């Protein structure tokens, strides 16, 4: 019986829609730091594509943009993305009650991490 209860709990938790809990689609202001501590800023757009996924586009400079797939789970939000130069990255955000997201990111083959905050545009 304990196995059945655990299995049902796991199915319930993992079958819940990841985007549920508030619409995160829209435009955001971006403020971040690179691996070396230098700052960058720009904007991002999140577009909901299904009950569990979304796309995200960042524009953080004239030659710096990227596009990725994203997913929300409770107060966590993650995206995998590809830069124009072909490098692949991952960012994980913690969602705040005000709708902003505080994240940490990295790129394949790099040592260290950068930080990023997304703030919803109203």
- Residue 64, pLDDT score: 84
- Three-class SS of residue 15? helix
What is the value of pTM for the model shown? 0.80
Range of the domain at 37: 2-120
Number of domains in the chain: 1
Token digits of residue 42: 């720009």
**Residue-averaged pLDDT of the chain:** 84
Can you give the CATH number for the domain in which 19 is found? 2.40.128.120
Percent above pLDDT 70 for the chain:
82
Q: Can you read off the two tokens belonging to residue 53? A: 């996924």
Report pLDDT digits (tens) over 85-113. Answer: 889 999 999 999 999 999 999 999 999 99
pLDDT of residue 22: 63
Q: What pLDDT does 88 receive?
A: 95
Of the pLDDT bands very low, low, confident and very high (cuts 50, 70, 90), residue 52 is confident
């Amino acid at each position: 019986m304990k196995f059945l209860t655990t299995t049902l709990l796991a199915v319930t938790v993992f079958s819940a829609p990841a985007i549920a809990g508030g619409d995160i689609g829209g435009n955001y202001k971006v403020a971040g730091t690179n691996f070396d501590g230098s700052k960058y800023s720009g904007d991002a757009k999140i577009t909901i594509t299904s009950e569990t996924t979304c796309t995200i586009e960042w524009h953080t400079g004239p030659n710096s943009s990227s596009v990725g797939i994203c997913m929300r789970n409770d107060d966590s939000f993650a995206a995998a993305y590809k830069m124009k130069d072909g490098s692949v990255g991952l960012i994980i955000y913690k969602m705040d009650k005000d709708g902003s997201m505080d994240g940490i990111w990295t790129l394949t083959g790099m040592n260290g991490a950068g930080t990023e905050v997304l703030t919803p545009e109203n």
